[in-house]
Protein backbone atom coordinates (compact mmCIF):
# COMPACT_ATOMS: atom_id res chain seq x y z
CA UNK A 1 0.00 0.00 0.00
CA UNK A 2 1.34 3.40 -0.97
CA UNK A 3 1.67 6.33 1.36
CA UNK A 4 -0.75 9.14 0.56
CA UNK A 5 0.33 12.71 1.08
CA UNK A 6 -2.90 14.40 2.09
CA UNK A 7 -1.16 17.79 2.19
CA UNK A 8 -0.07 17.38 -1.42
CA UNK A 9 -3.58 16.28 -2.46
CA UNK A 10 -5.02 19.51 -1.05
CA UNK A 11 -2.04 21.54 -2.28
CA UNK A 12 -1.12 22.95 1.13
CA UNK A 13 1.92 23.09 3.39
CA UNK A 14 2.29 20.80 6.39
CA UNK A 15 2.04 23.89 8.55
CA UNK A 16 -1.35 24.88 7.09
CA UNK A 17 -3.85 26.32 9.54
CA UNK A 18 -7.40 24.98 9.88
CA UNK A 19 -8.61 27.93 7.82
CA UNK A 20 -6.12 27.24 5.05
CA UNK A 21 -7.15 23.59 4.97
CA UNK A 22 -10.81 24.56 4.70
CA UNK A 23 -10.05 27.03 1.92
CA UNK A 24 -7.91 24.53 -0.03
CA UNK A 25 -10.57 21.83 0.37
CA UNK A 26 -13.32 24.08 -0.99
CA UNK A 27 -11.13 25.06 -3.93
CA UNK A 28 -10.45 21.43 -4.81
CA UNK A 29 -14.09 20.45 -4.19
CA UNK A 30 -15.12 23.15 -6.65
CA UNK A 31 -12.64 21.80 -9.20
CA UNK A 32 -13.43 18.12 -8.89
CA UNK A 33 -17.07 17.99 -7.80
CA UNK A 34 -18.48 15.25 -10.08
CA UNK A 35 -21.65 17.23 -10.72
CA UNK A 36 -19.84 20.08 -12.38
CA UNK A 37 -16.24 19.09 -13.10
CA UNK A 38 -15.05 18.61 -16.65
CA UNK A 39 -11.96 16.69 -15.49
CA UNK A 40 -12.00 13.09 -16.72
CA UNK A 41 -11.05 11.61 -13.34
CA UNK A 42 -13.16 14.01 -11.28
CA UNK A 43 -14.86 11.33 -9.24
CA UNK A 44 -11.61 9.65 -8.18
CA UNK A 45 -9.98 12.98 -7.41
CA UNK A 46 -12.99 14.11 -5.38
CA UNK A 47 -12.74 10.97 -3.26
CA UNK A 48 -9.07 11.69 -2.61
CA UNK A 49 -9.86 15.29 -1.72
CA UNK A 50 -12.67 14.21 0.62
CA UNK A 51 -10.38 11.67 2.23
CA UNK A 52 -7.57 14.22 2.70
CA UNK A 53 -10.01 16.70 4.16
CA UNK A 54 -11.58 14.12 6.47
CA UNK A 55 -8.17 13.54 8.02
CA UNK A 56 -6.62 17.00 7.98
CA UNK A 57 -9.70 18.89 9.14
CA UNK A 58 -9.94 16.72 12.26
CA UNK A 59 -7.19 17.78 14.70
CA UNK A 60 -7.00 14.32 16.31
CA UNK A 61 -6.69 12.46 13.02
CA UNK A 62 -4.32 15.06 11.61
CA UNK A 63 -1.98 14.66 14.58
CA UNK A 64 -2.06 10.86 14.24
CA UNK A 65 -1.47 11.08 10.49
CA UNK A 66 1.42 13.53 10.93
CA UNK A 67 3.06 11.19 13.40
CA UNK A 68 2.60 8.09 11.23
CA UNK A 69 3.59 9.87 8.02
CA UNK A 70 6.61 11.83 9.16
CA UNK A 71 9.00 9.31 7.60
CA UNK A 72 7.20 8.77 4.28
CA UNK A 73 7.09 10.32 0.85
CA UNK A 74 4.06 10.14 -1.49
CA UNK A 75 3.87 6.82 -3.32
CA UNK A 76 6.35 5.15 -0.96
CA UNK A 77 5.34 1.71 0.31
CA UNK A 78 3.58 2.25 3.63
CA UNK A 79 3.15 -0.03 6.64
CA UNK A 80 1.28 1.26 9.67
CA UNK A 81 3.64 1.33 12.68
CA UNK A 82 3.21 -1.66 15.02
CA UNK A 83 2.15 0.60 17.86
CA UNK A 84 -0.32 2.37 15.62
CA UNK A 85 -3.43 3.58 17.39
CA UNK A 86 -1.85 3.74 20.82
CA UNK A 87 -1.54 7.13 22.37
CA UNK A 88 -4.48 8.56 20.47
CA UNK A 89 -8.01 8.76 21.56
CA UNK A 90 -10.67 9.53 19.01
CA UNK A 91 -13.76 11.36 20.05
CA UNK A 92 -15.64 10.06 16.99
CA UNK A 93 -16.30 6.42 16.34
CA UNK A 94 -13.45 5.59 14.04
CA UNK A 95 -14.17 5.35 10.36
CA UNK A 96 -17.84 5.90 10.99
CA UNK A 97 -17.21 9.26 12.61
CA UNK A 98 -17.25 10.80 9.16
CA UNK A 99 -20.27 11.87 7.28
CA UNK A 100 -22.27 8.70 7.46
CA UNK A 101 -20.50 5.85 5.79
CA UNK A 102 -18.58 8.02 3.36
CA UNK A 103 -15.39 6.39 4.63
CA UNK A 104 -16.44 3.17 2.90
CA UNK A 105 -15.24 4.84 -0.30
CA UNK A 106 -11.86 5.82 1.11
CA UNK A 107 -8.54 4.18 0.24
CA UNK A 108 -6.79 1.15 1.71
CA UNK A 109 -4.29 3.61 3.12
CA UNK A 110 -7.05 5.42 5.00
CA UNK A 111 -8.56 2.14 6.23
CA UNK A 112 -5.20 1.00 7.57
CA UNK A 113 -4.84 4.20 9.57
CA UNK A 114 -8.34 4.94 10.74
CA UNK A 115 -10.28 1.81 9.97
CA UNK A 116 -10.37 0.44 13.50
CA UNK A 117 -14.10 0.40 14.02
CA UNK A 118 -15.61 1.93 17.10
CA UNK A 119 -12.37 3.33 18.59
CA UNK A 120 -12.47 2.50 22.30
CA UNK A 121 -15.91 0.94 22.34
CA UNK A 122 -15.55 -1.77 19.74
CA UNK A 123 -18.03 -3.87 17.88
CA UNK A 124 -20.41 -5.97 19.87
CA UNK A 125 -21.27 -3.43 22.52
CA UNK A 126 -24.06 -1.96 20.51
CA UNK A 127 -26.19 -3.17 17.70
CA UNK A 128 -26.16 -1.11 14.55
CA UNK A 129 -27.16 -1.54 10.96
CA UNK A 130 -24.31 -1.47 8.45
CA UNK A 131 -23.98 1.50 6.14
CA UNK A 132 -25.48 1.59 2.67
CA UNK A 133 -23.08 1.62 -0.26
CA UNK A 134 -23.44 3.28 -3.63
CA UNK A 135 -21.89 2.43 -6.97
CA UNK A 136 -22.49 3.28 -10.59
CA UNK A 137 -22.99 0.61 -13.21
CA UNK A 138 -22.78 1.10 -16.97
CA UNK A 139 -25.05 -0.99 -19.17
CA UNK A 140 -25.90 -1.18 -22.86
CA UNK A 141 -29.21 0.34 -23.90
CA UNK A 142 -30.28 -3.08 -25.18
CA UNK A 143 -29.92 -4.39 -21.60
CA UNK A 144 -32.72 -2.03 -20.54
CA UNK A 145 -34.90 -3.51 -23.29
CA UNK A 146 -34.30 -7.14 -22.54
CA UNK A 147 -32.78 -7.30 -19.05
CA UNK A 148 -29.28 -8.69 -18.56
CA UNK A 149 -26.81 -10.06 -16.08
CA UNK A 150 -23.90 -7.77 -15.36
CA UNK A 151 -20.72 -8.64 -13.50
CA UNK A 152 -19.44 -5.76 -11.41
CA UNK A 153 -16.36 -5.45 -9.25
CA UNK A 154 -16.51 -3.29 -6.15
CA UNK A 155 -14.06 -2.39 -3.44
CA UNK A 156 -15.47 -2.16 0.03
CA UNK A 157 -14.33 -1.96 3.63
CA UNK A 158 -15.33 -4.96 5.77
CA UNK A 159 -14.72 -6.03 9.33
CA UNK A 160 -12.48 -9.04 9.83
CA UNK A 161 -13.21 -11.46 12.72
CA UNK A 162 -10.90 -9.44 15.00
CA UNK A 163 -12.96 -6.33 14.40
CA UNK A 164 -10.44 -4.63 12.11
CA UNK A 165 -11.50 -2.98 8.91
CA UNK A 166 -9.98 -4.54 5.81
CA UNK A 167 -10.57 -3.48 2.25
CA UNK A 168 -11.55 -6.21 -0.12
CA UNK A 169 -12.54 -6.49 -3.70
CA UNK A 170 -15.64 -8.44 -4.51
CA UNK A 171 -17.29 -9.43 -7.71
CA UNK A 172 -21.04 -9.54 -7.95
CA UNK A 173 -23.28 -10.84 -10.66
CA UNK A 174 -26.31 -8.61 -10.78
CA UNK A 175 -29.57 -8.99 -12.61
CA UNK A 176 -30.29 -5.78 -14.54
CA UNK A 177 -34.07 -5.60 -14.69
CA UNK A 178 -35.82 -4.98 -17.96
CA UNK A 179 -37.16 -1.43 -18.15
CA UNK A 180 -34.45 0.30 -16.11
CA UNK A 181 -33.96 3.98 -16.93
CA UNK A 182 -30.88 6.19 -17.00
CA UNK A 183 -30.09 7.31 -13.45
CA UNK A 184 -32.45 4.82 -11.82
CA UNK A 185 -31.29 2.84 -8.80
CA UNK A 186 -31.26 -0.90 -8.23
CA UNK A 187 -31.30 -1.72 -4.54
CA UNK A 188 -29.57 -4.92 -3.45
CA UNK A 189 -30.61 -5.71 0.08
CA UNK A 190 -27.84 -6.75 2.47
CA UNK A 191 -24.97 -6.02 0.07
CA UNK A 192 -23.70 -2.92 1.88
CA UNK A 193 -21.50 -2.83 4.99
CA UNK A 194 -22.01 -5.59 7.52
CA UNK A 195 -23.88 -4.60 10.68
CA UNK A 196 -22.36 -4.35 14.16
CA UNK A 197 -23.32 -6.48 17.11
CA UNK A 198 -25.75 -8.56 15.11
CA UNK A 199 -27.28 -5.59 13.31
CA UNK A 200 -28.45 -6.06 9.74
CA UNK A 201 -26.11 -5.39 6.82
CA UNK A 202 -26.65 -2.24 4.80
CA UNK A 203 -27.87 -2.20 1.22
CA UNK A 204 -26.05 -1.59 -2.03
CA UNK A 205 -27.54 0.96 -4.40
CA UNK A 206 -26.48 0.70 -8.02
CA UNK A 207 -27.09 3.81 -10.09
CA UNK A 208 -27.61 2.74 -13.67
CA UNK A 209 -26.16 4.61 -16.62
CA UNK A 210 -26.19 3.75 -20.30
CA UNK A 211 -22.89 3.35 -22.08
CA UNK A 212 -22.77 6.10 -24.73
CA UNK A 213 -23.75 4.75 -28.14
CA UNK A 214 -23.60 7.12 -31.11
CA UNK A 215 -26.58 5.35 -32.68
CA UNK A 216 -29.03 6.12 -29.88
CA UNK A 217 -30.12 9.05 -27.77
CA UNK A 218 -32.23 8.42 -24.71
CA UNK A 219 -34.70 10.75 -23.03
CA UNK A 220 -36.44 9.05 -20.11
CA UNK A 221 -37.95 5.93 -21.67
CA UNK A 222 -38.03 7.44 -25.16
CA UNK A 223 -35.25 6.52 -27.52
CA UNK A 224 -34.18 8.50 -30.59
CA UNK A 225 -32.30 6.90 -33.45
CA UNK A 226 -31.08 8.43 -36.68
CA UNK A 227 -31.81 6.26 -39.72
CA UNK A 228 -30.08 6.89 -43.05
CA UNK A 229 -32.36 6.51 -46.08
CA UNK A 230 -31.83 6.93 -49.82
CA UNK A 231 -33.49 9.85 -51.65
CA UNK A 232 -35.84 7.44 -53.46
CA UNK A 233 -36.84 5.69 -50.23
CA UNK A 234 -37.69 9.11 -48.76
CA UNK A 235 -39.44 10.38 -51.88
CA UNK A 236 -41.30 7.26 -52.98
CA UNK A 237 -41.77 5.54 -49.63
CA UNK A 238 -40.34 2.14 -48.78
CA UNK A 239 -40.26 -0.63 -46.26
CA UNK A 240 -36.80 -0.70 -44.72
CA UNK A 241 -35.04 -2.90 -42.18
CA UNK A 242 -33.78 -0.90 -39.17
CA UNK A 243 -31.56 -2.28 -36.40
CA UNK A 244 -32.92 -0.92 -33.08
CA UNK A 245 -32.23 -1.70 -29.41
CA UNK A 246 -35.42 -3.80 -29.55
CA UNK A 247 -33.94 -5.87 -32.38
CA UNK A 248 -34.28 -5.52 -36.12
CA UNK A 249 -37.59 -3.94 -37.18
CA UNK A 250 -39.27 -3.52 -40.57
CA UNK A 251 -40.40 0.08 -40.85
CA UNK A 252 -42.54 1.85 -43.44
CA UNK A 253 -41.07 5.13 -44.64
CA UNK A 254 -44.01 7.24 -45.87
CA UNK A 255 -43.70 8.68 -49.39
CA UNK A 256 -42.72 12.33 -49.54
CA UNK A 257 -40.54 12.16 -46.40
CA UNK A 258 -37.96 14.88 -45.94
CA UNK A 259 -34.68 14.71 -44.01
CA UNK A 260 -35.31 15.16 -40.28
CA UNK A 261 -38.77 13.59 -40.40
CA UNK A 262 -39.50 11.72 -37.19
CA UNK A 263 -41.26 8.40 -37.30
CA UNK A 264 -42.72 7.47 -33.94
CA UNK A 265 -42.86 3.77 -33.16
CA UNK A 266 -45.24 3.60 -30.24
CA UNK A 267 -44.10 1.58 -27.23
CA UNK A 268 -40.85 0.54 -28.90
CA UNK A 269 -38.79 2.61 -26.46
CA UNK A 270 -37.58 1.30 -23.11
CA UNK A 271 -40.21 -1.10 -21.69
CA UNK A 272 -42.11 -0.05 -18.59
CA UNK A 273 -45.41 1.25 -17.34
CA UNK A 274 -45.91 3.11 -19.57
CA UNK A 275 -43.30 2.02 -22.11
CA UNK A 276 -41.37 4.67 -24.01
CA UNK A 277 -41.56 5.34 -27.73
CA UNK A 278 -38.86 4.89 -30.34
CA UNK A 279 -38.32 7.87 -32.63
CA UNK A 280 -36.60 7.24 -35.92
CA UNK A 281 -35.17 10.42 -37.38
CA UNK A 282 -34.71 10.12 -41.14
CA UNK A 283 -31.43 11.26 -42.61
CA UNK A 284 -31.46 11.41 -46.39
CA UNK A 285 -28.09 10.32 -47.73
CA UNK A 286 -27.20 11.21 -51.32
CA UNK A 287 -25.38 8.59 -53.37
CA UNK A 288 -22.07 10.04 -54.61
CA UNK A 289 -21.89 11.08 -58.25
CA UNK A 290 -18.81 8.96 -58.61
CA UNK A 291 -19.59 7.06 -61.81
CA UNK A 292 -20.73 8.12 -65.29
CA UNK A 293 -24.06 6.42 -64.69
CA UNK A 294 -24.63 8.22 -61.39
CA UNK A 295 -23.68 11.56 -62.94
CA UNK A 296 -26.10 10.93 -65.81
CA UNK A 297 -28.91 10.22 -63.38
CA UNK A 298 -28.25 13.45 -61.47
CA UNK A 299 -28.06 15.36 -64.75
CA UNK A 300 -31.40 13.89 -65.83
CA UNK A 301 -32.97 14.97 -62.56
CA UNK A 302 -31.49 18.44 -62.90
CA UNK A 303 -32.91 18.72 -66.39
CA UNK A 304 -36.27 17.09 -65.88
CA UNK A 305 -37.27 18.16 -62.39
CA UNK A 306 -38.55 21.60 -61.67
CA UNK A 307 -37.12 21.91 -58.20
CA UNK A 308 -35.59 24.88 -56.43
CA UNK A 309 -35.06 24.28 -52.69
CA UNK A 310 -34.15 27.99 -52.24
CA UNK A 311 -37.41 29.28 -53.63
CA UNK A 312 -38.64 30.25 -50.16
CA UNK A 313 -35.54 32.39 -49.73
CA UNK A 314 -36.43 34.51 -52.73
CA UNK A 315 -33.73 32.96 -54.90
CA UNK B 1 -24.00 -19.35 1.43
CA UNK B 2 -23.69 -17.18 -1.61
CA UNK B 3 -21.15 -18.13 -4.22
CA UNK B 4 -19.54 -15.97 -6.88
CA UNK B 5 -21.84 -17.41 -9.48
CA UNK B 6 -25.07 -16.53 -7.72
CA UNK B 7 -26.97 -13.84 -9.55
CA UNK B 8 -28.21 -11.10 -7.28
CA UNK B 9 -31.63 -9.75 -8.01
CA UNK B 10 -32.42 -6.34 -6.61
CA UNK B 11 -35.47 -4.15 -6.65
CA UNK B 12 -35.81 -1.25 -9.01
CA UNK B 13 -36.48 1.95 -7.11
CA UNK B 14 -39.74 3.51 -8.25
CA UNK B 15 -41.29 0.07 -8.50
CA UNK B 16 -40.56 0.02 -4.77
CA UNK B 17 -40.32 3.40 -3.02
CA UNK B 18 -38.01 4.28 -0.13
CA UNK B 19 -39.35 5.17 3.30
CA UNK B 20 -38.00 8.13 5.25
CA UNK B 21 -35.66 5.92 7.29
CA UNK B 22 -34.45 4.06 4.21
CA UNK B 23 -33.70 7.28 2.38
CA UNK B 24 -31.85 8.62 5.43
CA UNK B 25 -29.76 5.43 5.63
CA UNK B 26 -29.02 5.54 1.91
CA UNK B 27 -27.78 9.14 2.22
CA UNK B 28 -25.96 8.49 5.52
CA UNK B 29 -27.87 11.26 7.25
CA UNK B 30 -30.28 11.41 10.18
CA UNK B 31 -33.99 11.12 9.29
CA UNK B 32 -34.46 14.59 10.70
CA UNK B 33 -32.08 15.96 8.08
CA UNK B 34 -34.49 14.63 5.41
CA UNK B 35 -37.57 15.93 7.25
CA UNK B 36 -36.14 19.46 7.45
CA UNK B 37 -35.38 19.55 3.75
CA UNK B 38 -38.75 18.10 2.76
CA UNK B 39 -40.58 20.60 4.95
CA UNK B 40 -38.54 23.43 3.50
CA UNK B 41 -39.52 22.30 0.00
CA UNK B 42 -35.98 21.37 -1.04
CA UNK B 43 -36.62 17.69 -1.46
CA UNK B 44 -39.43 15.38 -2.48
CA UNK B 45 -43.03 15.87 -3.28
CA UNK B 46 -44.78 14.42 -0.27
CA UNK B 47 -47.84 15.44 1.70
CA UNK B 48 -46.93 17.27 4.91
CA UNK B 49 -47.90 15.81 8.27
CA UNK B 50 -47.74 12.11 7.42
CA UNK B 51 -44.06 11.45 7.86
CA UNK B 52 -44.46 7.71 8.34
CA UNK B 53 -46.16 7.47 4.96
CA UNK B 54 -43.61 9.48 3.04
CA UNK B 55 -42.24 7.69 0.03
CA UNK B 56 -39.24 8.61 -2.04
CA UNK B 57 -38.26 7.72 -5.59
CA UNK B 58 -34.98 7.04 -7.34
CA UNK B 59 -34.85 10.69 -8.47
CA UNK B 60 -35.28 11.86 -4.89
CA UNK B 61 -32.51 9.55 -3.70
CA UNK B 62 -30.17 11.12 -6.25
CA UNK B 63 -31.28 14.61 -5.22
CA UNK B 64 -30.94 13.93 -1.49
CA UNK B 65 -27.42 12.58 -1.99
CA UNK B 66 -26.55 15.60 -4.10
CA UNK B 67 -27.89 18.00 -1.44
CA UNK B 68 -25.91 16.17 1.25
CA UNK B 69 -22.73 16.24 -0.83
CA UNK B 70 -22.99 19.95 -1.67
CA UNK B 71 -23.74 20.86 1.95
CA UNK B 72 -20.82 18.74 3.14
CA UNK B 73 -18.24 19.58 0.47
CA UNK B 74 -18.82 23.32 0.44
CA UNK B 75 -20.25 23.77 3.92
CA UNK B 76 -23.23 25.19 2.08
CA UNK B 77 -26.45 25.98 3.90
CA UNK B 78 -29.48 23.93 2.78
CA UNK B 79 -30.92 26.79 0.72
CA UNK B 80 -27.74 27.18 -1.29
CA UNK B 81 -27.38 23.40 -1.75
CA UNK B 82 -30.97 23.26 -3.03
CA UNK B 83 -30.26 26.09 -5.47
CA UNK B 84 -27.15 24.27 -6.74
CA UNK B 85 -29.12 21.02 -7.09
CA UNK B 86 -31.91 22.87 -8.98
CA UNK B 87 -29.39 24.32 -11.40
CA UNK B 88 -27.59 21.02 -11.92
CA UNK B 89 -30.89 19.25 -12.56
CA UNK B 90 -31.95 21.97 -15.01
CA UNK B 91 -28.65 21.61 -16.88
CA UNK B 92 -29.14 17.83 -16.96
CA UNK B 93 -32.65 18.24 -18.39
CA UNK B 94 -31.44 20.66 -21.06
CA UNK B 95 -28.51 18.38 -21.93
CA UNK B 96 -30.90 15.45 -22.30
CA UNK B 97 -33.10 17.52 -24.65
CA UNK B 98 -30.10 18.60 -26.71
CA UNK B 99 -28.95 15.01 -26.82
CA UNK B 100 -32.39 13.77 -27.87
CA UNK B 101 -32.42 16.37 -30.64
CA UNK B 102 -29.03 15.09 -31.79
CA UNK B 103 -27.34 18.43 -31.08
CA UNK B 104 -23.80 18.68 -29.68
CA UNK B 105 -23.36 19.99 -26.14
CA UNK B 106 -20.72 22.56 -27.01
Which ipTM did the prediction report? 0.84
pLDDT value at residue A178: 94
Residue B105 lies in a domain: no
Average pLDDT, chain A: 83
The residue ranges of every structural domain in chain A are: 1-122, 129-212, 216-309
Query: Is the per-residue pLDDT at B81 higher than 90?
Result: yes
Q: Which of A102, A180, A219 sits opposite B12 (nearest CB)?
A: A180
- Write the CATH number of the domain with boundaries A129-212: 2.60.260.20
- State the fold for domain A216-309: HSP40/DNAj peptide-binding domain (2.60.260)
Per-residue model confidence (pLDDT) at position A94? 36
CB-based contact A29 B28, cutoff 8 Å: no
Is residue B37 a part of any domain in this protein? yes
Could you read off the pLDDT of A45-59 as tens digits, one per residue? 888 898 899 889 888
Task: Give me the pLDDT at residue A69, please.
Answer: 76
Mutation for A interface: B73, B81, B98, most A CBs within 10 A: B73
Domain housing B89: 20-100
Task: Assess if residue B3 is contained within a domain.
Answer: no
What is the CATH architecture assignment of A1-122? Orthogonal Bundle (1.10)
DSSP at B60 = H
Query: Of all residues in chain A, what percent carry a pLDDT higher than 90?
Result: 48
Q: Hey, is the C-beta of A147 within 8 angstroms of any chain B C-beta? A: no
**Mean pLDDT to the nearest integer, A143-151:** 94
State the pLDDT at residue A205: 94
Average pLDDT on A269-290 reads 95
Q: A74 CB near a chain B CB, below 8 Å?
A: no
pTM: 0.74
Q: For the beta carbon of residue B21, count every other beta carbon within 10 angstroms.
A: 13
Instruction: Tell me if B9 is assigned to some domain.
Output: no
Residue B6 domain-assigned?
no
| Per-residue pLDDT reduced to its tens digit, A83-123 | 555 445 444 433 333 334 455 566 767 766 776 443 333 44
Is B61 domain-assigned? Answer: yes
Instruction: Residue B66: name the closest of A134, A241, A123 by CA.
Output: A134
Report the range of poorest mean pLDDT among A4-18, A108-122, A152-166.
A108-122
Residue B14 lies in a domain: no
Q: What percent helix, strand, coil does chain B show, rounded to 5?
A: 55, 10, 35
CB atoms within 10 A of CB A34: 15
- Enumerate the β-bridge partners of residue A139: A210
Q: Do A58 and A114 contact (CB within 8 A), yes or no?
A: no
Which range, of A253-257, B48-52, B80-84, averages the lowest pLDDT? Answer: B48-52
Q: pLDDT value at position A133?
A: 87
> Residue A122 has what pLDDT?
40
Q: Which of residues 14-33 of B touch A (CB under 8 A)?
A: 14, 16, 25-29
Distance between CA atoms of A259 and A261, rounded to whole angstroms? 6
Distance in angstroms (rounded) separating the CA atoms of residues A147 and B40: 39
Split into its structural domains, chain B has a count of 1
Q: Flag whether B11 is in a domain.
A: no
Amino acid sequence: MEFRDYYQILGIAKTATADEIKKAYRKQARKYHPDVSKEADAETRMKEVNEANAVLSDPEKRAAYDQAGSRYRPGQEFQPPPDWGTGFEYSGDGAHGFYGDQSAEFSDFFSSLFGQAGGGGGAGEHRARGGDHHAKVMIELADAYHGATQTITLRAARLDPAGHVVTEERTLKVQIPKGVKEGQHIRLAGQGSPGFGGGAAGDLYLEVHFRPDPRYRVDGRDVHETVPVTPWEAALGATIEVPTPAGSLRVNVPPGSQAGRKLRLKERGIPGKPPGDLYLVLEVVLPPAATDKARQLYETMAREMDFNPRQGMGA
Amino acid sequence: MMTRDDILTGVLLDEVALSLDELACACAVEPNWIVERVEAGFLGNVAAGQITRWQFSSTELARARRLAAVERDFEANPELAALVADLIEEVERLKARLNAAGLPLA
